[in-house]
Amino acid sequence: MKVELYFLGTGAGMPSKERNVTSVMLGLLAERGVYWMFDCGEGTQHQVLRAPVKIGKLEKLFITHLHGDHLYGLPGLMSSRSYQGGDTPFTIYGPKGIREFVETSLRISDSHLGYQTTIIELEPEEQVVFEDDQFVVSAAPLVHRIESFGYRIVEKPQKGRLDAERLKSLGIAFGPLFGKIKNGEDVELPDGTKLKAEEFIGPMIPGRIVTILGDTQPCVHAVTLSKDADVLVHEATFAEHRKELAVMYDHSTAIDAAKTAQEAGVGTLILTHISSRYQGEEADMLRDEARTVHGDTLLAHDHFRFEIRSSRQR
């Protein structure tokens, strides 16, 4: 089943002609029929107009921190969600202060939403913020000028594949017995032969792991949240020769991001939150620097999409 990242904005601080400010969508249409969004910088709903995503199908929004380039698009997005058929419950996760921001913005602008909204403010510690029978989402604080979080999205393991060919070779026709064995039930054939379900079902298939970090300097939680992730989305605001600026403003260089990915055993590293000082081919320098440490590195751009393959697909 297809899980996809879609980058609506990949810039840092201020929008530029090439990059809007930060927002990324996690497409879970096959699994849940919805999208999850991470951050919502100014102009995000305009980016949606040029993207194959629908605000009406937005189920959850995870805010990493309360700087404007990650937040200012939220009131408009929430209002537009009503107009675009969004009538299902909507949940917002973020640092303390997100509730006041949302409620004040909607009250002062006299905005009325046609759906139920739940706002969950995070504690400054490692925590599970959401779990159901499909996914677990955990969060942990990072190191930035203000409280900033990273999120780890883990898909729960899926049942192994049924060995249908082997069952057919035993003379078992497709039907109720197939379903029972697939559900893990042992069965007995008319001739008394007993079949153990575990012998006809492959091993559990590990779920996908996606890590999306907010603005941060290199830190322990950046590594723990990223451990063995299939894909890590990490800011790369500066090139390495601007390291002093990264330290001054509590950001990361592309090399910092690559070192985190390498230490955590990440599959693919995707760089985002690119300073407007890096335009056009200059931004490629960030990717090239990161690849000297972590070879499987990509540089995101606005409307860049990346399919996260399951271990079965790989």
Q: Which member of 39, 69, 256, 302 is catalytic?
A: 69
281-298 b/e with 16+ CB inside 10 Å = b?
A: eebeebbebbbebbeebb
| Cα–Cα distance measured from residue 226 to residue 209, given in angstroms and rounded to the nearest whole number | 9
The reply to whether 303 sits in an annotated binding site is no
Does the annotation mark 69 as catalytic? yes
Q: Is 273 annotated as a binding residue?
A: yes
Output the six-digit token pair for 55: 């605000």
At 21, list the tokens.
Answer: 């400010």
Q: What distances in angstroms separate CA 22 from CA 117, 150, 224, 289, one per listed residue? A: 22, 14, 23, 22
The DSSP symbol for 227 reads: T
Residue 91 per-residue DSSP state: E
Q: Is 294 annotated as a binding residue?
A: no
Sheet strands side by side (includes 23-28): 117-121, 90-94, 58-62, 34-38, 23-28, 3-9, 305-308
Question: Any binding-site annotation on 112?
Answer: no
69 marked as binding residue: yes
Query: Taking a C-beta distance cutoff of 8 angstroms, is the pair 290, 236 a contact?
Result: yes
- For 217, the 3-state DSSP assignment is coil
Amino acid, single-letter form, for residue 142: L
End-to-end CA distance of the chain: 12
Rounded to whole angstroms, the Cα distance separating 307 from 182 reads 28
**Is 256 known as a binding-site position?**
no
Handedness of CA 41, 45, 48, 50 (dihedral sign): negative
251 in a known ligand binding site = no
Query: Which residues line the annotated binding site for Zn(2+)?
Result: 65, 67, 69-70, 144, 215, 273
Active site residues: 69
Query: Which residues line the annotated binding site?
Result: 65, 67, 69-70, 144, 215, 273
